[in-house]
Structure 1
Amino acid sequence: MENVPENGADRGATRRTVLRAGAAAGLLSMIPSAWGQGAAPPVVLITGTSSGFGRLMAEGFARQGARVVATMRETRGKNASAAAELAALGSSGLAIEIVEIDVLSDDSVAAGVARAMDSAGRIDVLVNNAGIVVPGPVELQPPRYFASNLETNMGGALRMFRAVLPHMRDQGRGTIIQMSSALGRAIDPMLGGYCASKLAVEAAADALAYEVAASNIEVAIVQPAGAYPTGLQAKAVRYWEEMVTALDATERRKLDIYARHVEAMLTDLAPDPELDPKEVSDAVVALAAMEFGTRPARLTVGPYKDGIDPVNVAHDQLQSDMISHNRIADLLTPR
């Protein structure tokens, strides 16, 4: 596998209200005062900060006064220049520390979180951002390629949940922000593995939100809804090309069946240059700065927001109705 890519009860209107992307700038302006008042700045650990949303969030949180633990894999290897760039921002006065974490490795996650705790003493906000897209028709994807979406996007999040939650519980409070996608709700052909991973991580994050509420820990999901130019698309094309190379002769002949599908997929994987990924990172920073207990359970940002929001509203209503009958409903909302 050398070529396989790596890496409550009804909470009320405030938890079901979706933050408008256009409000992010206004909320950002209030963050310094919200995080001030003489209190220590919040410690924010972010995964996948070598590029894209993660890189922007690391700088964005730091510029708003947070102490950032920016994590990525291979800080001395292929991500050395990205790590050095963030480290330079730290040297210029921003509170950014680079910590190596490969979310595919239990040992790496445990060691990275331990280092963050030794250095910062706490983790107030975890942003699970690391993720990949391995595209292709479900029929032709060898299980290990299909599963690589799940292992990084779902398995990586699970490892981070397990490592960080005990520390947040000991602190008496914490916030987890799980990066997902509009494709955690809507299904796109040729992206079955990616959609499956985002559906899975949203289900896990929803369950987690109920389970850790009694420990005063909040969980929110962010769904970018557009082809933001983050570099993810170019990597997806490379993964596709690697997978095609790995197909045997019989499977490769089947590519003819999917010729139009593949053409459409490669066209649609082109990022939209009119979209600014900073609007997503700004919205995440603003979401994290909201008063505890008022954050929406889901935040959708992007041009397809109007299509995804009604699905989220229906989901929230179903969940509220179901949880209201749960025998431990009193435990399922943060105090």
Structure 2
Amino acid sequence: MAIPIFRASIPQSQIQPFIHYLSTTRSRVDETNNKRKMVLSCSTSELSPTRSEVSFAVGTCLIPHPKKVDRGGEDAFLVSSYNGGVIAVADGVSGWAEEDVDPSLFPRELMANASSFVGDEEVNYDPQNLIRKAHAATSSIGSATVIVAMLEKNGTLKIANVGDCALRIIRSGHVVFSSSPQEHYFDCPFQLSSQKAGQTYLDAAVSKVALMEGDTIIMGSDGLFDNVFDHEMVSIIANYTDVSEAAKALANLASNHAKDSNFDSPYSIEARSRGIELPFWKKILGMKLIGGKLDDITVIVGQVVSS
């Protein structure tokens, strides 16, 4: 996406190590090994905190942009078993590469910091506060969109998002909640940044939703939602009982759509509705604004289960 960015003077020595998957304990991961693993990274875990009424059973999958496979892409995510369960996604802004900055460093450090602050007293199990603390502690140059969801033991899901990472809640075969994307203009979302000109936790869209056992949460970067329609998500959730397999199926579907120049994707439909047009010479050749959008694709599927 074409994102306006700003220069910074933070020394490279402050950039944190590569971190892609995190639990409540922050850990260092060898970057070289991760590069080999992230061509397709999928996992599943059941988050069952002690004495919870409900919690998440979680499956995850990440497929990097085809041109960023060697670096593992520029998305990062967090899954934590704290309380009823915490899930989060951060999507690095690729425009920083033009400034010779690795766009993956900021979102990865942001998620690492979020992991370390999940149980912090000042956070008080509030996703907006978690964004505040994690952003303030992040020293890497760059920017990212982010979404955080925290499940209370009583079934209340608290959500905060800055930008266009998104979330859907599916109940009995229907989407009953959709988060709202935030943008300055088409393809330029709100974003947390290492620069003062970016957004902050105060700009986050905040929501609360009462969940029921059996509800399914789909969270992801825009690589998922730009390429997969809601009805396709509902269909996949209905066909998979295993959350890990569901996450993998959603990510694969998004990847296939992204590579299909003839697929009329949510992204291309939105572009046309915003008045985005092809260059005149392409129109003369009969070309149309259509196709999927190549991007990093991160998917988290969480099912609400009784603890």
Given the two structures, how large is their TM-score scaled by the length of structure 2?
A: 0.32
Please tell me whether Structure 1 or Structure 2 has the larger radius of gyration of its CA atoms.
1
Q: Which has the higher contact order (CA 8 A, sep 6+)?
A: 1
